[in-house]
Structure 1
Amino acid sequence: MAGRSTRPTLEEVAEAAGCSLATASKALAGRPEVAVATRVRVHAAAVELGYERRPRALAAQPKRRTILAAFDGFGSVYSASVLEGAMAAAAKADVEVVVGLTPTVEEGGVDAAWLERRAATGVLGILLVTALLADGLHETTERLGVPVVCVDAKSRDLGSIVTVGSASWAGAALGTQHLIDLGHERIAFAGVNKDFDFALERYAGYRSALERSGIEPDPTLAFPGDTEYSTGFAIGTRIARSPRPPTAIMCLCDAVALGVIEGARRSGLRTPERLSVVGFDDLQPAHWSSPALTTVRQPLRRMGALAARTLLRMADGHEPDSTRIQLATSLVVRSSTAPPADGEAGGEPGGDATAG
């Protein structure tokens, strides 16, 4: 048809997101009655299609205050929980949240050019969740004058960038101490990663708990990895096939822990009868798994809300109280941990369950 616009339409966004036209409109307007998962799908579809919302009826009104919440992916309950907290806090301040994706690790993560393009859209600030940040990015944020707050950044060179997270060191120490109190001595760690601050803190907390109890950390039981289920599955498989597997394992996150349980199970090592497993997050799948996962709970919704409130205060000209904000963690004991089987608590260090 002659003269028909080629701009993407709201109908196309709704179709891509798998929802009704009315729901898509409400999601883009930031209406609180739309489920978080649906809002994520609608915003992601709008970004993918290049849709720009231009409500004519509101054209004469002042421009809405907006922040950008950018994630490295939306495939986890973690992301939805943090986003729900951030959106609730923003709504109380009458601020809209635009949701987007950060560049992947393979694409080099968030760099100066990416940040400059987002800052140029006029947002009040940028919230980055589990994003990989390029080295020296704090210099760009200072130059642009647009506040940036990170939640669980996958980086170490953060400089003056404000980060919000949980007490990773204390949480991992708490989870490891639970295993020690059950009688375990040969305790592994899944997810050693020197590139992420939170991963380093959790590994350090694990080691500290062992050392305080007089147990020498065994480097062959320190398994490198990331936060993916597949990483845990591979580690669980390797442990189960070892002549002398550990009797317990502290994991970097719930996804890794659930992968460890399934990988070990498929290779004949059952949880908790032969392998006790502790996660870190307390996501909904931890409740549903079989056995239900013992884990360290971090307050994800509170983290998202605090990050959004901090970002808005910075946008209003206030200095943050701290550049490193950590919320308390707690241990949730379920059925994936138990005392070691008779005669299997410790043993001589070493063995063939190597982490290299």
Structure 2
Amino acid sequence: MTKSATSRDVARLANVSQTTVSRVLQGSARVDPVTREAVMNAIRQLGYLPSPAARAMRTNRTGTVALVVASLTSNPLYPALLQLLSSELRRNALHATVWEADRFGEDTARSLVESPIDGVIVATAVNAATPFLAQVAQRKPMVLVNRTVASEAFDQVTSDNAGGGRAVAAYFCDGGRRRIGLLSAQDYPASTIQDREAGFTQELLRRGVALAARDIARVRAFSYQEGLDAATAMMASGEFDAIFCVNDILGIGALDALRRGGIRVPARTWVVGYDDIPMCAWECVSLSTVRQPMEEMVAQAVAVLLRRLAGDRSPHQRIELPNAIVHRRSTVHQP
């Protein structure tokens, strides 16, 4: 039987002390990035697996982080985000445990507080959940990613959704679009959707374009069918030359609705989505969209969590990263 690698083997290969190896495994901020990477390379090369039980007894840490996400079947964005988070945690010698929670409430908060986890990353949160999020943050290091709430009790990493909405409005206007439509959600509490819509409508107003009620369609759920039905109803009320869909699933449904109705895209109507899920790049879809910097958001969120786990008690941060429009065949004009 092959002998399992030990922390002494890792230290020898990385040319560091065992204390340094332990600090890397604990996520200590006292290790410089170059040394940390050398240790992580040695761990990967040797296939070293620290004993969870031994580490928990020695450090009072389990090396496990809870990832709280929305339903993984509702939007391809969430599985992609989960994969990125899990990979980034593994790269830093941490393990992920996945919690599906469309609504972050008292039961979720209690379970997280009582679970043997070191920290929490939440990718699904709304303002109504703020008291429950704060309860968890009092007991465990916690970071929100993608969505934000009105609180300074924990760190938050997101992209500039309002800026993304403004960019789409400017793109339409600069491209000569005049009859503009919005496909959004009905009473949806997430910051992502609210900010996208607000940025879009405010920029249109700034440019002298006011959306009437008939120019806005609202769906009950973010699904392909809802997007298709809503866009079909919009086109029945008049012809639009541009439609902004607040997420890509709605955008793909809207594209098919226009094609079924014999409306040429983009010759007559432009369509732009949001998130840049993988399907948008498929040849049969080719949806222009706003790309969120998911990799950078995840890297920042995990880096902040690592600092908190290492004892950083500085004021909590709200990090907002820029987005960019990706031009595909559902639009024409490229500034």
Give the TM-score normalised by the residue count of structure 2: 0.74
The corresponding residue for 1:137 is 132
Identity rate, percent = 24
The letter for the 2-side match of 1:72 is: A
Counterpart Cα distance in 1 of 2:240 and 2:314: 43
> 234, 238, 251: which one pairs with 2:233?
238
Deviation track 1:91-112 (CA, whole Å, cap 9, x = no partner) reads 232111112311x3xxxx1112
Residue 273 (structure 1) aligned with residue 273 (structure 2): no
Q: Is the 8 A contact 1:310 1:320 kept in 2?
A: no
TM-superposed deviation, 1:157: 5.3
Deviation at 1:167, TM superposition (A): 0.8
Question: Do the aligned partners of residues 118 and 266 (structure 1) sit closer, same or farther apart at CA in structure 2, a change above 3 Å counting?
Answer: same
Number of positions where the alignment pairs a residue of Structure 1 with one of Structure 2 = 275
Residues 238, 285 of structure 1: alpha-carbon distance in 2 compared, 3 angstrom cutoff: same
- When the two chains are superposed, the root-mean-square deviation of aligned CA atoms in Å is 2.5
Please say if residues 226 and 250 of structure 2, whose CA atoms lie closer than 8 Å, have aligned partners that are also in contact.
Answer: yes
C-alpha distance 291-270 of structure 1, shift in aligned 2 (>3 A): farther
In 1, Cα distance between the equivalents of 2:150 and 2:131? 7
Is residue 2:60 matched to residue 1:61? no
Give the whole-Å Cα distance in 2 for the aligned partners of 1:190 and 1:310.
Answer: 35
2:158 counterpart residue number: 165
Structure 1 partner of 2:76: 77
Displacement of 1:129 after TM fit? 1.6
Deviation (angstroms), 1:284: 1.0
Task: Tell whether the 8 Å contact from 1:294 to 1:332 is kept in structure 2 after alignment.
Answer: yes
State how 1:94-173 maps to structure 2 within 5 Å.
Answer: 94-102=93-101, 104=102, 109-131=103-125, 134=129, 136-143=131-138, 145-153=139-147, 156=149, 158=151, 160-173=153-166
Is 1:204 equivalent to 2:198 in the alignment? yes
Contact 1:227 1:252 in 2 (8 A): no
Give the Cα–Cα distance (whole angstroms) in 1 for the partners of residues 203 and 118 of structure 2.
42
Range moving further from structure 2, 295-304 or 157-166: 157-166
| Aligned position for 1:260 | 254
Q: Secondary structure at the match of 1:136?
A: helix
Deviation readout 1:185-241 (Å, 9 max, x if unpaired) = 111111145522221211121113212322223332122235333331221111232
Partner of residue 297, structure 2? 303
Residue 247 (structure 1) aligns with: 241
Q: CA shift at 1:183, angstroms?
A: 0.8
Task: List alignment gaps of at least 5 residues for structure 1.
Answer: 1-56, 340-356
Where 1:278 maps in the other structure, the secondary structure is strand
Q: Tell me the CA shift for residue 303 of structure 1.
A: 1.6
Once residues 336 and 158 of structure 1 are traced to their aligned partners in structure 2, the CA distance between those partners, rounded to angstroms, is 38
Distance 1:215 1:126, change over 3 A: same
Q: Which residue of 2 aligns with 1:178?
A: 171
Match for 1:235: what amino acid? A
Residue 54 of structure 2 aligns to a residue whose secondary structure is coil
1:91 pairs with 2:90: yes
Deviations 1:274-329 (A, max 9, x none): 32101111111000153411111111122222222222222333246654321110
The equivalent residue for 1:26 is none
1:332 maps to what in 2?
A: 326
The 1:59/1:128 distance shift into structure 2, 3 A limit, reads closer
2:125–2:149 Cα contact (<8 Å) kept: no
Which segment is superposed worse, 87-96 or 117-126? 87-96
Looking at structure 2, the residues matched to 223 and 197 of structure 1 have their Cα atoms a distance apart, in angstroms, of 19
Name the counterpart of 2:33. Answer: none
Q: Match of 1:77, as an amino acid?
A: P
TM-score for the superposition, normalised by structure 1 = 0.70
Is the CA contact (8 Å cut-off) linking 1:148 and 1:162 kept in structure 2? yes
CA distance in 1, matches of 2:123, 2:283: 25
Question: Which residue of structure 1 aligns with residue 208 of structure 2?
Answer: 214
Q: Structure 1 residues 238 and 305 mapped into 2: Cα distance closer, same or farther (>3 Å)?
A: same
Alignment check: 8 A CA contact 2:183 2:231 kept = no
